[in-house]
Structure 1
Amino acid sequence: MNASLPQTHSPGALAERKAYYDRIGQDSMTPLWEVLGALVPPQPRSPAVSHHWSYADVRSQVMEAGRLISAAEAERRVLILENPALRGQSGITQSLYAGLQLIMPGEVAPAHRHTQTALRLVLDGEGAYTAVDGERTTMRRGDFIITPAWTWHDHGNLGQEPVVWLDGLDIPIVRFLDAGFAEKNESEYQAETRPEGDALARYGSNMVPVDFYQAPAEPTKVFVYPWERTIAALKAVARGTPDPHFGHKQRYVNPATGRSPMPTMAAFSQLLPAGFETKPYRCTDGTVHVCLQGSVQAHVEGRDYTLHENDVLVVPSWHSLQLRAGPEAVLFSYSDRPVQQALGLWREQRA
């Protein structure tokens, strides 16, 4: 590509080259050779950085939002967890969004739908519910709840205390593709058309309706994965030998297809026995981790973090991660792995 260019870096040659760049810039062109290294790097160089949010430190700020703005006024009262290196982009990584949502007693977060897929991980408080396409589910700590793309959903709090959960969405992916649509419901909340637990019974008990067939890319009909089932499964698996890189780590699936519950985001639960230390591991899917039980020391590319219950840690793409449990610990995590795997891009490296 450089054969026709002067083989010298004299001031005159450099000035001529710059003048050329300026001329082609007027026609909305730029030389590839000046940016090739950044466009096609030898390995991922994420602009995101690892970062830790201590729930004990930020909880008071979440609660303050409840005094300053109502759920109806905000539509969704959420404090976005912005990656420090991506401020202003509403992203915890380049492809994922995260936020802490608060709903106060007696409030309703009104019904709407959008093309962005969302997950909820309940962290704090009792008495709230999420409704998805006419079915409510009571939100309990540790529950993993999904609102698939373009499904009507609303939240309410019938209890006596504030409820906080982590929102995870594929907003940056949808924004990158310019494929975002949203619509508000005429009613503040949905009418109940199915009893609570209906979807879990129909699609989450190793059975599906006799005439139900689902395309591989479609989201799961099971929109709630209860914590009690998750922890029971992890405890049972933990009777075996832990994997040196993960401890005991399971991925959530759509029971009807065996694929990720969401086409754009994967979700995982991980149990680390007391005192267990993982070997270093890295992968191309930037991942958001939440400590649900116990405490964990995390080592990410030379930086150390201590995670307590409800703390959030983001590990960007191709950053080495090593975990060490204090007491027995359980982590939830989510990432953009399904997108990368569908495109043949996903890679991992085990030390």
Structure 2
Amino acid sequence: MNAPHPAAQLRQQLYRDMEPLHLTPLWEVLHALVPRQPASPCVPALWRYEEVRPFLMRAGDAITAEEAVRRVLILENPALRGQSAVTQSLYAGLQLILPGEVAPSHRHTQSALRFIVEGAGAYTAVDGERTTMHPGDFIITPSWTWHDHGHEGNDPVVWLDGLDIPMVRFLDAGFAENDTRRSQVVTRAEGTSLARWGHNMAPVRHEKPFGATSPIFSYPYERSRQALEQLERDAAVDEWDGVKLRYVNPQTGGSPMPTMATFMQKLPAGFAGKPWRQTDGALYSVVEGSGEVTIESAAGAWRFAFGPRDHFVVPSWHTARLSSQPGCVLFSFSDRPVHQALGLHHEERLS
């Protein structure tokens, strides 16, 4: 048996001797710290709504919205169990509110989006203005704004919550505060923010009401879908995305929130998209129709058939391809604004 190489012995003794000082050699971990390309620990996953919904309804029997503060089932990435994260930087969950309930007012530094999945008649209130929820609507809760939810309709309402919780946690920058009121006082008529900012116009004298976040906090699905239908009819269909639009902050032209970008796209009937990959991981919510997504990485390949109200995640730098025979509409959100702000965003459209 050969004796250990002297250099190897020296290294191991060096590691043992310096360990009490909390020192570690870079050369042992350099390739993992600075990889040749992104190597996300996240894996693709699909949450079928028909399988998830019964558990949401059981949660409605088990705990009230007020007791829970927010009655949500978290969509956890299978490779990140216990971390309350759908990707390394994003949180996603499905929230249920029942008729007559109120999810009490609070605020936090984390930015949040709501995408309405099922039902109508519920509302969310942000800094004194309410907006009524309808399926397909995209609603923002800006950072550090008071917000509560209520339901004055007749049937359960479910929406997708998307937050930058993992990012804020990574930066150790999270704050939260509970309101002394169960529901905040409404001080502005519903639709005020949309009237001021949602018609390619703006008040003559104004300040940014939500800082770096869009002053529009409710983007109705009716308008989004109308735009997609017109573009599908009158413009060229993109070979990778179908017809895809991004939501914007009308003050800046950038993303509605500083940490999250949101998108709506329509895949025409018979669409067979080309593959692409990007550094921003994204969660998709199926609004209408059905289709299929194939996702590949060095770790393997996944093929998911999706239908209305299903959700799926495409992690960073995984090659994805979308297709749909009957046609479909997809909402998605990602951490793209952070990648762009740091000069890190990269995308490849493959043939």
Say whether residues 1:259 and 2:258 are aligned partners: no
Residue 155 of structure 2 corresponds to 161
Q: How does 1:1-351 map to 2 (within 5 A)?
A: 10=4, 12-214=6-208, 218-239=212-233, 240-301=235-296, 302-351=301-350
Contact 2:142/2:210 (8 A) holds in 1: no
Distance 1:348 1:214 in 2: 31
Contact 1:217/1:263 (8 A) holds in 2: no
Contact 1:125/1:162 (8 A) holds in 2: yes
CA gap 1:20/1:340 in 2 versus in 1, 3 angstroms: same
How far is the alpha carbon of 1:206 from its aligned partner? Answer: 1.1
Alpha-carbon displacement from aligned partner over 1:61-108 (angstroms, at most 9, x marks no partner): 011000001111110000000000000110000000000000111000
Contact 1:127/1:159 (8 A) holds in 2: yes
Alpha-carbon displacement from aligned partner over 1:267-321 (angstroms, at most 9, x marks no partner): 0000000010110000000000111010011000021001100110100000001
Contact 2:209/2:215 (8 A) holds in 1: no
Distance 2:199 2:68 in 1: 37
Contact 1:281/1:349 (8 A) holds in 2: yes
In terms of mean alpha carbon deviation, does 8-17 or 112-121 score higher? 8-17
Contact 1:94/1:172 (8 A) holds in 2: yes
Give 5+ residue unaligned stretches, structure 2: none
- When the two chains are superposed, the root-mean-square deviation of aligned CA atoms in Å is 1.5
- Write the letter of the residue equivalent to 1:110: P
How far is the alpha carbon of 1:214 from its aligned partner? Answer: 4.3
CA gap 1:102/1:271 in 2 versus in 1, 3 angstroms: same
How far is the alpha carbon of 1:126 from its aligned partner? Answer: 1.4
Distance 2:157 2:123 in 1: 10
SS in 2 for 1:26: helix
How far is the alpha carbon of 1:14 from its aligned partner? Answer: 2.8
Contact 1:200/1:222 (8 A) holds in 2: yes
Alpha-carbon displacement from aligned partner over 1:6-53 (angstroms, at most 9, x marks no partner): xx9935543432221122221111100000000000000000000000
SS in 2 for 1:238: helix
Distance 2:209 2:156 in 1: 38
Distance 1:283 1:217 in 2: 28
Contact 1:114/1:151 (8 A) holds in 2: yes
Alpha-carbon displacement from aligned partner over 1:127-166 (angstroms, at most 9, x marks no partner): 1000000000000000000000000000001011111000
How far is the alpha carbon of 1:180 from its aligned partner? Answer: 0.2
Contact 1:294/1:326 (8 A) holds in 2: no
Distance 1:188 1:58 in 2: 29
Contact 2:290/2:305 (8 A) holds in 1: yes
Identity, % of aligned pairs? Answer: 58
SS in 2 for 1:146: strand
Distance 1:277 1:255 in 2: 33
- Aligned pairs, how many? 344
Contact 1:214/1:257 (8 A) holds in 2: no
Contact 2:76/2:85 (8 A) holds in 1: yes
SS in 1 for 2:272: coil
Alpha-carbon displacement from aligned partner over 1:144-202 (angstroms, at most 9, x marks no partner): 00000000000001011111000000000000000000001100001000000000001
Distance 1:31 1:229 in 2: 56
Scaled by the length of structure 1, the TM-score of the pair is: 0.96
Distance 1:280 1:311 in 2: 21
CA gap 1:211/1:100 in 2 versus in 1, 3 angstroms: same
Distance 1:25 1:153 in 2: 48
Distance 2:199 2:341 in 1: 27
